[in-house]
Structure formats: structure tokens, C-alpha cells
Amino acid sequence: MKNMKAYFDHSATTPVDPEVLKAMDPYFVQIFGNASSVHGFGQVAIQAVDQAREKVADFLSCKINEVIFTSGATESDNIVIQGLVKSGDHIITSVIEHPAILEPCREMEKRGVEVTYLKVDHNGLISVAEVKKAIKNNTRLVSIMYVNNEVGTIQPIAEIGKLLKEENQERQGSKLSKIYFHTDAVQAANFCPMNVDLLGVDLISLSGHKIYGPKGIGVLYRRAGTPVKPIQFGGHQEVSLRPGTLNVPGIVGFGEAIELLLDEKRVKLEMAAIKQLRDKLFAGITKTIPKAQINGDLVNRTPHNAHFSFYGVEGESMLLLLDQEGIAVSTGSACSSGSLEPSHVLMALGMDPLLAHGSLRITLGKHNTEEEIDHLLKVLPPIVEKLRKISPIK
């Protein structure tokens, strides 16, 4: 196992599936037309885009014209927040959102928007009752992530959707604005139900590189009638909401990745295999490493996420020593790498800052093997023991 390489950072990004790469390949050189062009080259390209759009609509159980292609979930999130909300409006979100939500919300606060950041319990779960209590007359948008990118906790999106539907029914006939519901579902698409009507959402953000598709491509689902305005201007692509030349290879790749997710039997088998490996990791680490703590809800959780904190150890040191052994993990969100601050998610869970600094996020994928898990379980305990011996925290 000395030369074994093991990738356990699938919440940061996933490898492109070979079937996805195969589907994309012709659109780089052979079918290279601009999808906005009227001639034959362009028409072949737009047909491929339309086919991908149909696949996404099928996956979300929505209308084809409700699917907007973007460069990724960060852009989708920004379009929602900046394009739907104006000065004087109120947003409800949570303290554990991805920076792609938190930073636009902070920017909107500078523009006269009021934002309520809901707290979570020690497992990272949001209370539906707290969402209800936070609603004000000027509430315009509720944006709650479907699955937390660090600890894997699944939020009660359908329950929140039901609450907001009831609230909006009460608002009918009044001068109060409808409350629109958005979820960043980047970490959920591989594992959770995505029917937009069952979830009760008006807007969803997705990203290709989290579902074994290419980087640089994402989707914004916008329910018909949701008054989102563009935040950048140019051509008329994507109903003028996301102008710019369409990334045809990326869109084709996204569509193919979605098509793989539409194979329910295949997905169930992959999820079961991932969960079996994750549970072995839970048992192995808690058995062999004293003072190892599992973070996040153990029930309402995606099957691929294993998040640990180790008392008296620095997470970055563990990461670097594991990397020397050919094992890739993370200490949190890839978008926050390099930050010396403890994870805002772990702080929101009420964790001691010193313990938060000693955390690892291990996220599994469909290509991981039991041999790789055995390798990690062999290598990690002595690393933790070594670091604890030299740690000033006793």
C-alpha cells in the first residue's frame, strides 16, 4: 500500500466520469459551432444544448424553460440573491451556508437589504419553527442549503417548502410580497430527492463538478414566474438571465452526468457501497483513535460524508502528513482553504475553537475502495498519536 493514492475529497470536486468525458469530446473540435449561430454548425450545437436541458428538467421534474445554464453554483447563487432582492427587502438564510450565499448576502446588506442568519443545533440542523419565527412582512427570499458542504447534514427542505407555501397562501390578496424559496443543492444532487414540487422550491443551484461532470458549468432552476433579474448584461442567451456564449462541451457534460443520476438502480447501488465504506470509516476511527469525535447529524446526513475532530491535533498538520502518504482529504470547504480561522460551520455547531482546528472532512465517491479505507485506517492513527505527542494542547 506504500504507493497507493486515495482521493477522499469528493465534496471539493469529483473526477469526470468516463462516460461524461466521452459525451463531451466531439464538442471541442468536431462540433464546435456557437450555439447562437443560425447556420448548420450552430444548429447542431444548440440541439445538444437542448438535449442536455431536457435531461436536467427530467431530473428536477420541472419545465424545460425553467433550466438556466450558468458557470457554476456560485454564479447561480449570486443571480438569485442579487437578481431577486432589492433595498428594503428581507432575506432569511443560515449561519452555515456556503460563502457563495453568505458573501452575496453581506453585499446586499450594504445595499439596504435586511438579512436574518438562522442558527443551527449542535448537529447542524435548522429548525423549521425558527424559519417561521424569522418571517417578516418584508421577507422576500428564504435561502437554505440542502446539504451542508462540511458536515453533510441534510436540511428539512421539503418541510420548509411546505411552511412557505402556507405562508404565501395567507399572503394572497394582501399587499405583502410572495416569499421565494431557494436552495443551494450542490452537495445534495448525488444523494437526495430533487423533485422541485415535492421540495416546494422556486430556485435551485447545481454545479457540474460535484456530480462527476466538468468544472465551469452549473444550473439555476427558476420556477416560471419567479421575477429574477439579470445581474450582468450582454447577449440574449438563457432568456437574457445569463448572457454569454454557451459552454456547449460543459453543458453536454452536465447533461450526461445528470443522465447517469437518472439511472436509479445504479445510483442506489453506488450509494449503498459508499455508505458501507463510510460506516467502516466511522467504526474504525472511533475505535482506534481516542478522543475522536464525529461531527454532524448521524441520521440526516449524506452517505458519503465523514467529518471528524481530534482533540489536541492541528487539522492542517494531519492533512499534510496524510498527503505525504498519498491520501487526499480536507479540513473543510475547498473555498476556504488557506484561512487560519476555524470553520464557521463548526463554530455554529458550538464547537470549541481548538477542537474545530483539529478537524478533517473525509468525503467518499463511487470509485473509492475498501482497500483505500483500510489504508487510511492504518495510516491515520499513528499520525494523530505523533502529532499529539508534540502538541502544546494537553
282 and 235 both lie in a single domain: no
In a domain, 293, yes or no: yes
- Of residues 186 and 35, more confidence is placed in 186
Helix (H) or strand (E) holding 42: helix 40-60
Tally the domains of the chain: 2
363 and 299 both lie in a single domain: yes
For residue range 375-384, list pLDDT tens digits in order.
999 999 999 9
Q: Mention every residue, 6+ apart, whose C-beta is less than 8 A from residue 23.
A: 252, 253, 255, 256
250 and 309 both lie in a single domain: no
243 and 298 both lie in a single domain: no
335 counts as catalytic: yes
In a domain, 85, yes or no: yes
Of 227, 261, 295, at which residue does a domain stop? 261
Of 233, 261, 289, at which residue does a domain stop? 261
For residue range 45-101, list pLDDT tens digits in order.
999 999 999 999 999 999 999 999 999 999 999 999 999 999 999 999 999 999 999
CATH number at residue 44: 3.40.640.10
354 and 253 both lie in a single domain: no
200 and 273 both lie in a single domain: no
Mean pLDDT of the 240-258 span = 96
- Amino acid identity at 223: R
236 and 277 both lie in a single domain: no
Structural domain boundaries enclosing 218 = 18-261
Among the listed residues 62, 105, 192, 335, the single catalytic one is: 335
**Smallest Cα–Cα separation from 219: which of 208, 227, 228, 230?**
208
In a domain, 219, yes or no: yes
75 and 217 both lie in a single domain: yes
Q: How far is Cα 218 from Cα 232, in angstroms, rounded to an integer?
A: 16
How big is the CA angle at 64 (ends 255 and 159), to the nearest 5 degrees? 90
CATH number at residue 359: 3.90.1150.10
What percent of the chain is predicted at pLDDT more than 90? Answer: 89
Q: Which residue has the cell 475532530?
A: 309
For residue range 101-111, list pLDDT tens digits in order.
999 999 999 99
285 and 145 both lie in a single domain: no
In a domain, 140, yes or no: yes
Q: Which residue has the cell 443543492?
A: 185
- Is a pLDDT exceeding 90 seen at residue 391? no
Averaged pLDDT of the chain:
94
204 and 285 both lie in a single domain: no
Q: Which pLDDT band, with edges at 50, 70 and 90, does 393 fall under?
A: low
pLDDT of 339 reads 54
292 and 188 both lie in a single domain: no
Mean pLDDT of the 135-159 span = 98
204 and 237 both lie in a single domain: yes
Mean pLDDT of the 174-187 span = 96
Return the sign of the alpha-carbon dihedral for residues 330, 335, 337, 341: negative
In a domain, 53, yes or no: yes
Of 200, 227, 261, at which residue does a domain stop? 261
In a domain, 1, yes or no: no
In a domain, 39, yes or no: yes
